[in-house]
Each structure stands twice: as C-alpha cells, then as structure tokens.
Amino acid sequence: MARKLRYSERRALVETGSAGPLQDQPSLELINALNYLIGEGTQSAAGKQFANALHGACVKHFGWGAGVNVRVAILAPDLDDFLELMEIVCEEALRHHNVGGNRTLYRPAIYGAEEKINDLFDRHRFGYRLDAGEIRKVGSPALSEVVVGPALLAVQRPGWEEADRSFREAIQHQRGGPDENDDALTAANAAIEAALKAAGFKGANLGPLAKDFKKSSVVPPELKDVPEALDLLLKRSGAMRNSHGDSHGKAPGADAVPQELVDLAIHWAGAFIVYLSRAIPEAD
C-alpha cells in the first residue's frame, strides 16, 4: 500500500509536480524517525532476539567496539556505513525470531520493514531505496524533481494507467543494475506508446503513432520535426538494446546497455509524457 501523502506533500505535487528534491545525506529528522522504527522493533514480541541479532551482525560487519550500538552508529557521517547499516537493520528486522520461548512460533521484529524504511526515506526525501534488501540510489535528484516527478503526476489521469505502469516499470529497471538496462529501454518505449494512445493518437506501435501525432494540431509548425526525432531516438535506442541486451543469447548483464543511454531514454520519455499531458486537454 502506498504511503499516504500529507498536506504539504500534496500541495507540492499540485504546485511543482514533485514532493521536493532528493537529498544525498540522511537528515536528522530521518535519523530520528529510523531510530523510532528500530525502537518499535526492539519492543516487539521478538524484540530481545532482534536487538541481540542486530548488534551481533553489526559487530561482525563493522567491527564495533565496546559502547557502540545502532543508535550511536546511525549518527555517523559516513554515507556508506549508514546505507549498509540500513541493509542490516532491514535484514534482521524481517528475520523470523523465536517468540516467548515457543520453538514453534517465530515472528519478524518489524512486519513490512523494507516498505516502512522506504516510506521514511520517501517522506524525508532521501535519495536511496531498499529493493529486496539492497540499497539502490534513486538517481539524479534534479531530474527526479523536474522530470520523473512531473511525469508520474502527469499519468495520473483516467485512461493513462498503462502509461503509468510502463513508466514506473522503466524507472524500476533503471535502478536495478546493468542486467536490467535493456528492460528499462523496453519499458520506456512502451510508456511513450501508451501515453500517445491514451492521448487519442492512432497506431499499433510508435511509428504510426508518431505520424498521427505529427499530423495533429498539437504540434505547432515550428516543432514539426519533433515526432521524427522521437521515433529516431527510440529506434536507435532499440538498436542499441538489441546489440547490447541479453535477448540475443548473451548472459544477463554481459555487455550491458550503457547506463547513460538508459538514463537519457528514461528522462527523455518522462519529459515527453509531461509535454503530451499538458498539450492534450483532459477529457471530461
């Protein structure tokens, strides 16, 4: 379930299309919120086991000395240590610990720990997320603010569900590492096709859709070559995907699509979706 947005966040989305820029360092407010969440885990039915397991895992990983614990370490200024600590917290919080001495009853210390930590990261605009227990950087905070955020807002219109799904999928693959780069390009292409169809243009794929887009009154004469440029960029992206991707018998991740091409495709797709949503009036 998506985190409920509060008043200031809803206002920011309406006014700017984004809840705010992402930060590369955890704020004190985020650290306080995480400490509270961890404290809830230590007070749960599995709290004692969780606290002991968490401390032990951190001593083994970081080599903590006497007097160092999670509440002290989380304040450390080193970003890599903070991110690794969050991975360990999530792992131990989700581990099923023995409850009340009953060997048949095991529970996690924090149900949905990864989702709850990510919700706090999002609430406090921290530029990292946990994905299957591993920390991944969200991407450029500036591009997230001016492109990705507005694009995600733009597709929240009736009939644009497929564009929303495909663009979110593209972003997830973009953050998933080199072996998912070709999938990110595929999803970016699908998102643009879906947005064009949702906007009322005709065609089974991008070529015919781009031609129909060019003929419409949406495109002013000064921008008549934009559809061709769109089609050309995506065709070249597809060619790069076909030559680099794993769809031709190569091992996943081998000779991966260059990250800079993936980033360009994702952000270009997002910018075009924003333009399209603003150029096409929403149906009554």
Q: At what angle do helices 28-42 and 79-94 cross, to 10 degrees?
A: 30
pLDDT at 151 over 60: yes
91 pLDDT band, cuts 50/70/90, is very high
- Assess contact for 41 and 52: CB atoms under 8 A: no
DSSP for 80-95 reads: HHHHHHHHHHHHHHHS
Output b/e per residue, 223-244; b: 16+ Cβ within 10 A: eeebbeebbebbeebbebbeeb
Mean pLDDT of 273-280: 81
Count CB-CB contacts under 10 A for residue 95. Answer: 18
Q: Is the pTM of this model over 0.75?
A: no
pLDDT at 80 over 50: yes
Domain 140-279 bears CATH identifier 1.25.40.80 = no
pLDDT at 137 over 90: no
Per-domain residue ranges for the chain? 23-134, 140-279
Rounded distance between C-alpha atoms, residue 106 and residue 240, angstroms: 49
* Region of poorest pLDDT, from 116-120, 197-201, 254-258: 254-258
Average pLDDT, the chain: 80
Reading phi first (left if > 0) and then psi (alpha if -120 to 50, else beta), residue 107 is in beta
pLDDT at 142 over 70: no
- Find residue 128's DSSP bridge partners: 137
Using alpha carbons, select from 66, 61, 65 the residue that is nearest to residue 82.
Answer: 61
- Assess contact for 34 and 74: CB atoms under 8 A: yes
Q: What is the pLDDT of residue 185?
A: 83
Mean pLDDT of 120-136: 86
What pairing do the DSSP bridges indicate for beta strands 128-131 and 134-137?
antiparallel
Q: What is the pLDDT of residues 246-256, one digit of tens each?
A: 444 554 444 56
Q: What is the pLDDT of residue 88?
A: 96
pLDDT at 172 over 60: yes
Q: What is the pLDDT of residues 6-54, one digit of tens each?
A: 888 778 766 665 566 678 899 999 999 999 999 999 998 888 889 999 9
